[in-house]
């Protein structure tokens, strides 16, 4: 049996991994703690580790894993910005789940826009208090508005289709797409997208080149009252610039499923803590901000696919010497 150390375990993870692990010949040791330099020792006597988006897969952590003779890091997610790929190169193999359900993330994103625009979250609280006033509850029609999508991968394409269904005009920026083969999408430059879009939605991985892509300079180019949606990675947005834009009214609303400093917050119950992240507290205090805790991926279909692909990645590596979904270090990423 292949032995797997599974970090940052949540109840919804175990449902699907427990269902399929025997079929793939994998024995799992579950740990609630995140992977770090200190917790890497828990992987002793295992062949590989399974990590998620907020685990610390730094150079120091990788060195500890190598000392424990770990051969594979299996990410149960698509993103890998938390992994020091340079440190892992030629020493330990890193694989990921490149896709699990683009519909899950895209649908969640549209749900957040609808909720934020039409004040559904505030209406829910009001009516529970028997307050049926409609003052300060006005939204706008999505039909006829322009949505600017940054990143036209599978999630971005699904989101574009959803927006088209609402009668929106779709423009997009993606530096890796040179030829427009999309019927309902107009490809534009980043600056043009900022200038034209009523809603800007981020659907790209985080790299060193697009870190803080949404900053004060980009925001100043945007329409007054623009809505910003981020279901990708928190580091794409400069939090200070976002807060300033919201306070000034330049940004009309922000829907965030990710946050720049989320690693010590998201996926945990912090309700009893008094020492709170000040920027997050500021964002949560604003009536035109909607935040969910990195849950856009959280559907049964996505969770099942994540388990199946992760287990398949592990089995193929150890039994067939294959790494179909390997993440390889590149100088420019």
Catalytic residues, by residue number, are 233, 262, 294
Q: Which residues pair with 26 in a beta bridge?
A: 2
With a CB cutoff of 8 Å and minimum separation 6, the contacts of 232 are 79, 151, 202, 203, 204, 205, 206, 258
Cβ(193)–Cβ(172) under 8 Å?
A: yes
Cβ(177)–Cβ(152) under 8 Å?
A: yes
Cβ(296)–Cβ(158) under 8 Å?
A: no
CA pair distance 209, 212, nearest whole angstrom: 9
**Residue with tokens 């990710």, as numbered in its chain:** 258
CA pair distance 285, 24, nearest whole angstrom: 47
With a CB cutoff of 8 Å and minimum separation 6, the contacts of 58 are 37, 84, 87
Q: Which residues pair with 296 in a beta bridge?
A: none
Nearest to 119, CA basis, from 296, 294, 292, 288: 288
**Residue with tokens 């049926």, as numbered in its chain:** 132
CA pair distance 3, 71, nearest whole angstrom: 11
DSSP structural state of residue 238: -
**Angle, CA 84 vertex, CA 80 and CA 85 arms, to 5°:** 75
CA pair distance 206, 259, nearest whole angstrom: 12
With a CB cutoff of 8 Å and minimum separation 6, the contacts of 51 are 7, 8, 35, 57, 73, 74, 75, 76, 82
**Angle, CA 223 vertex, CA 218 and CA 227 arms, to 5°:** 85
């Amino acid at each position: 049996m292949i032995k797997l150390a599974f970090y940052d375990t949540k109840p919804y993870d175990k449902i699907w991994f427990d269902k399929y692990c025997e079929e793939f010949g994998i024995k799992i040791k579950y740990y609630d703690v995140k992977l770090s330099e200190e917790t890497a020792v828990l992987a002793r006597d295992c062949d590989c580790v399974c990590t998620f988006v907020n685990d610390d897969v730094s150079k120091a952590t990788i060195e500890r894993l190598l000392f424990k003779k770990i051969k594979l890091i299996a990410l149960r997610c698509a993103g890998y910005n938390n992994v020091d790929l340079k440190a892992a190169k030629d020493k330990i193999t890193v694989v990921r789940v490149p896709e699990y359900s683009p519909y899950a993330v895209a649908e969640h994103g549209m749900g957040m826009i609808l909720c934020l625009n039409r004040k559904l979250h505030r209406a829910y609280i009001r009516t529970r208090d028997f307050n049926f006033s409609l003052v300060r509850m006005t939204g706008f029609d999505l039909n006829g508005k322009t949505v600017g999508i940054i990143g036209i991968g599978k999630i971005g394409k699904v989101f574009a289709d959803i927006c088209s269904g609402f009668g929106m005009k779709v423009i997009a920026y993606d530096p890796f797409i040179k030829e427009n083969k999309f019927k309902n999408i107009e490809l534009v430059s980043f600056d043009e997208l900022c200038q034209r879009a009523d809603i800007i939605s981020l659907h790209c991985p985080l790299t060193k080149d697009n870190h803080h892509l949404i900053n004060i300079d980009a925001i100043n180019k945007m329409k007054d009252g623009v809505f910003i949606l981020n279901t990708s990675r928190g580091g794409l947005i400069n939090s200070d610039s976002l807060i300033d834009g919201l306070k000034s009214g330049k940004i009309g609303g922000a829907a965030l499923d990710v946050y720049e400093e989320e690693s010590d917050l998201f996926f945990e119950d912090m309700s009893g803590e008094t020492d709170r992240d000040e920027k997050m507290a500021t964002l949560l205090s604003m009536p035109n901000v909607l935040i969910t805790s990195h849950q856009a991926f959280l559907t049964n279909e996505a969770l099942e696919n994540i388990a199946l692909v992760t287990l398949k990645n592990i089995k193929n590596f150890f039994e067939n010497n294959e790494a179909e979904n390997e993440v390889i270090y590149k100088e420019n990423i």
